[in-house]
Amino acid sequence: MDAVLETQKLCKSFGALTVAQNIDFRLQAGDRHALIGPNGAGKTTFVNMLMGVLRPSSGRIVLGGEDITRAPQAERVKRGLGRTFQINTLFRHLPVLDNVALGIAERRGVAHRMWRPASSYREIIEESRELLSTLGIADVASAPVMDLPYGKQRLVEIAIALGLRPKVLLLDEPAAGVPSEETDKILRNLQKLPSEIAILIIEHDMEVVFRFARRITVLVQGEVLVEGPPEEIARDRRVHEVYLGEPHHG
Amino acid sequence: MTHAGGYSADPRLRWPEFLPWIAALAAFFLLPEYLSLGARILIYMLFALSLDLILGYAGIITLGHSAFFGLGAYVAGILSAKAGITDPFLQMAGAAAAAGLLGVVTGAVILRTRALALLLLTLAITSIVLEIANKASWLTGGADGLSGVTVAPILGQFRFDLFGRTAFLYCLAFLFIGWFLVRRLIYSPFGAMLTGMRENTARMHAVGAPVYRRLVGVYAISAVMAGVAGALLCQTNQFVGLNVLGFEPSGELLVMLILGGVGRIYGAFVGPLVYLIAQDLLAKQFPEYWYFGIGLLLVVVVMFAPGGILGLIDKWMPSSKPRSSAKASAH
Amino acid sequence: MILYVISVGLSVTMGLMGFINLAHGVFAMAGGFILATAMARFGVPFPLALVAAFVLVAVGSIFLERLLYSRLYAAGELAQVLFTIGLIFMSVAVARLIYGTLAAPVFLPDYLRGQVHVLGRDFPTYRVFLIVFSGVIIASLWLGVERTRWGAMLRAAVDNRGMAQSVGINTRRLFTSTFALGSGLAGLGGALGADILPVHWGYPLEHLVYFLIVVAVGGLGSLRGPFVAALLIGIADTACKYWIPEFGAFLVYAATIGVLLWRPAGLFGVRT
């Protein structure tokens, strides 16, 4: 089956510092893939390159068969690549509904319209509400995001990404900063995500990783150490060495 | 915040929004001796509105908005004094087109930068236009200004009379159109998107918004409005001087807008009104103290009342907040 | 070169504190006025008057910084721009009240007037003096920043304020002292340059664009940047006025736009 997202020999250096080396990576439709590795392994750098925030020093990125290595971020999003940020990147003063609606309006190609009031676009508002419902946060639709507890803000972050109907979703530490009681809620929402979407999740929380992912890639110092199903990774001695001394979550 | 617009907002007119127009018409009938000052105030309201669009909504900090204002003024004047075009609407169209073109060209070039570089570039551009106006005195009258501007009667009927009646209503009409268009824009999806760009640019990129293109678009729209305001100034005074360009008018406009309140549409009404009336009363008597007072006011407002006059009103009268069409918040 | 002396302080404070201080020209103007007043009213000799300009402006700026500027560090660009514009207006009005509309008269001491014979050509003594003096200032600045502990702390803080703080550097005091130094230098520059750039009530506004150009083109937070930028501007400006007097400052503006588009952080800017 054709990969829906693929990188070929992706490299990135900042001067003498190499943060990514020959990363070969494939994601199929419907995959549940996790990217793990110690701090500073280059995981977020990798995501940033996939999204177009960072230009790779060499290598190719292919999305749905098209080379997007040089494409700007907006175009990648239009082709079906969505992301969430490690630190909440939301429109803090706007209501939750607007946060989601902005993305949906972009997707539907009406965000540039200047005449009719935004609130008259019933379809967008309906879709936003439905999305919030599936994530269980429809009740706070009109609250400004900054008034919400962090865990719910994290869900808004996911909602915005889902509103773009991505074919590939990159989740950058969705459980980061969330108190352990709420991690379960995040996890359950992740498991409810549509099965056609290919999902790449970066996480440190091993409970989330092992309950969610069907394949795991381990990144160490910018290079792929090993890739495989969770049981293999859990038994791999090299992985244990890398994580030896690392605090174990969950 | 109190920025209007967005998907949760109710776009219907609230009753206080009729007040400015009622007040303007009342002023027309009740204060006939002040109509030329009134026209000036209306012009600056339109100018301030154009600035609010990019400053308060799109979040672009600029010191160079006078470039569009001045260009509009000069183009309208030159069309009349040098090319013999006296129809007011043709002059207006020329001014708007020129300002819009400058807006698109300079916007496309400078909106790739941010913060200090952007600020400086806006200042540099208005300085360049000032230099050109200064040096090309065969066209612009240089330091003496451009005189010999004639404006034919509007629609062949309404002459610009000495008492400023026609001028006042003419400016009021354009202000109304400008206000109407801006208000529609604010409440539209485009307006929501502007707010998004100001709030969190990274997020807008990540939802696929072509941020740069949109910024250039709103910058151009704002430039056209400023150009129209400049043309109005030229047409009502029938004269254009170098003081419509450079840092001074940009700085003054910024003060007016901050005074009224940024990002609130009506701050652009309140600010110039208060500022220009105060200036008319005080500046002639005590010019140095006026400048000092303005500076002091600016410092005080920035430190203690960043929302301007409207911001203060909001604090004291919470019932004047915009209605929301969504249900009450859940906490 | 005068531009450099005045603007280097701005470059460092803006790079260090991230504070857009449009009122920097005010300090230069103050220095110029202090020089003129000290010499004319109190008969202070030139060198001493220069010192006075530096010290008084620096001390004055400390008050301003403690009382006003420091409250706005986190306030965002717009607030800073507005605040400093307000300061400009206020000081311009005060200057006009005190000194009227004429430029401050400058009486150069005799030993600095006239011509000096260097390398077979005659140069105005004062210009040579300026170049030499500026060179001394630049050198001492460079030494100060590269070699002293204060300089090391400054460089660290410009590079990464958070880290610097967690290492125990008292950024508050660093800000104040740097601001004082930068403003004092501006005052000195204004005083030194009073002969060439007349000091009058409209000074901060008239030269605002140039100060900003030097800083933005040179790059915030760097010492070399404004030097190169000031040099380039000086050359371009003189060349332009000599060859194509019609276009005056045009070339400088156009060049500024070009440079900033190519390198938005300035030629030597610290890119965030």
Residue with the larger pLDDT of the pair B76 and B140: B76
pLDDT in tens, A171-180: 888 888 778 7
pLDDT, averaged across chain C: 73
Task: Give percent of chain B with pLDDT exceeding 90.
Answer: 25
Under the banding of pLDDT at 50, 70 and 90, the label for residue B321 is very low
> What residues 97-136 of chain A have any CB closer than 8 A to a CB of chain B?
97-98, 101-103, 105-107, 110-121, 124-125, 128
pLDDT at C192 over 70: yes
Phi, psi of B8 (to 5 degrees): -100, 0
Token digits for C27? 């300090």
Which pLDDT score, from 0 to 100, does residue B2 have?
A: 54
Of B110, B113, B288, the CB nearest to C93: B288
Q: Could you please report the per-residue DSSP string of chain C?
A: -HHHHHHHHHHHHHHHH----TTHHHHHHHHHHHHHHHHHHH---HHHHHHHHHHHHHHHHHHHHHHTGGGGTTS-HHHHHHHHHHHHHHHHHHHHHHHTTSPPP----GGGSSEEEETTEEEEHHHHHHHHHHHHHHHHHHHHHHHSHHHHHHHHHHH-HHHHHHTT--HHHHHHHHHHHHHHHHHHHHHHGGGTS---TTHHHHTHHHHHHHHHHH-TT-SHHHHHHHHHHHHHHHHHHHH-GGGTTHHHHHHHHHHHHH-TT-TT----
Calculate Rg over the CA atoms of chain B: 20
- State the pLDDT confidence band at A245, using cuts at 50, 70 and 90: very low
The kind and range of the H/E element at A212 are helix A206-212
End-to-end CA distance of chain A: 35
Q: Is the pLDDT of residue C175 over 80?
A: no
Instruction: Check whether B306 has a pLDDT greater than 60.
Output: yes
Contact B299 C94 (CB under 8 A): no
CB contact under 8 A, B207 and A164: yes
Cα–Cα distance for residue pair B119/C84, rounded to 1 Å: 14
**Higher pLDDT among residues A12 and C146, named by residue:** A12
pLDDT of B198 above 80: yes
- Please indicate, yes or no, whether the overall pTM of this predicted structure exceeds 0.80: yes
User: pLDDT band at C45, cuts 50/70/90?
Assistant: confident
Quote the percentage of chain C above a pLDDT of 90: 0
Please state which of the ranges A207-211, B53-57, B291-295, C243-247 shows the lowest mean pLDDT.
C243-247
**Which of C13, C70, C82 is the mutation pick for testing B, counting most B CBs within 10 A?**
C82
Q: pLDDT digit string (tens) for B30-58? A: 888 888 888 899 999 999 999 999 998 88
Where does the pLDDT of residue B178 fall: very low under 50, low under 70, confident under 90, or very high at 90 and above? Answer: very high
Q: What percent of chain A has pLDDT over 70?
A: 96
Task: Name the band, by pLDDT with cuts 50, 70 and 90, for residue B231.
Answer: very high
In DSSP notation, B151-218 reads -PPBTTTB---TTSHHHHHHHHHHHHHHHHHHHHHHHSHHHHHHHHHHH-HHHHHHTT--HHHHHHHH
Average the pLDDT over each of B221-225, B264-268, C15-19 and give the range with the smallest value.
C15-19
CA proximity to B172, closest of B25, B36, B18? B25
At least 3 CB pairs under 8 A between chains A and B: yes
Among chain B residues, the shortest Cα distance to C90 is held by B292
| C72 with B110: Cβ contact below 8 A | no
Record: contact B61-C254, CB cut-off 8 A: no
Res B329 pLDDT > 50:
no
Q: Which residue has the higher pLDDT, B286 or A150?
A: A150
The whole-angstrom distance between C93's CA and the closest CA on chain B is 5
Q: What is the pLDDT of residues B279-303, one digit of tens each?
A: 888 877 777 788 888 888 888 888 8
- With contact defined as 3+ CB pairs under 8 Å, the chains touching B are A, C
- Taking 3-state DSSP, the helix, strand and coil percentages for chain B, each rounded to the nearest 5, stand at 75, 0, 25
Touch between B and C (at least 3 CB pairs under 8 Å): yes
The ipTM assigned to this model is 0.80
Chain A CB contacts of B188 below 8 Å:
113-118
Per-residue CA distances from C89 to B255, C22, C215 (Å)? 11, 11, 22
CA distance A190 to B41: 57
Q: Which band of pLDDT confidence, cut at 50, 70 and 90, is reported for residue B328?
A: very low
**CA separation for the pair B309, A178 (Å, rounded):** 40
Q: Does residue B177 carry a pLDDT above 50?
A: yes
**Helix B189-199 vs helix A96-107: crossing angle, to nearest 10:** 110
Q: How far apart are CA C78 and CA B60, in angstroms?
A: 9
- Quickly state the pLDDT bin for C113 (edges 50, 70, 90): low
Q: What is the pLDDT of residue B4?
A: 75
Q: Are A110 and A121 in contact (CB under 8 A)?
A: yes
Residues of A numbered 45-84 whose beta carbons fall under 8 angstroms of chain B's beta carbons: which are they?
51, 53, 73-75, 77-78, 82-83
Q: Kindly report the average pLDDT of chain B as a whole number.
A: 84
* CB spacing of C205 vs B119 below 8 angstroms: no
With contact defined as 3+ CB pairs under 8 Å, the chains touching A are B
> How would residue C110 be classed by pLDDT, with cut points 50, 70 and 90?
low
Q: Which of C86, C213, C253 is nearest residue B302 as measured by Cβ atoms? A: C86
Of the residues A48, A116, A119, A127, the best mutation for testing chain B's interface (the one with the most B CB atoms within 10 Å of its CB) is: A119
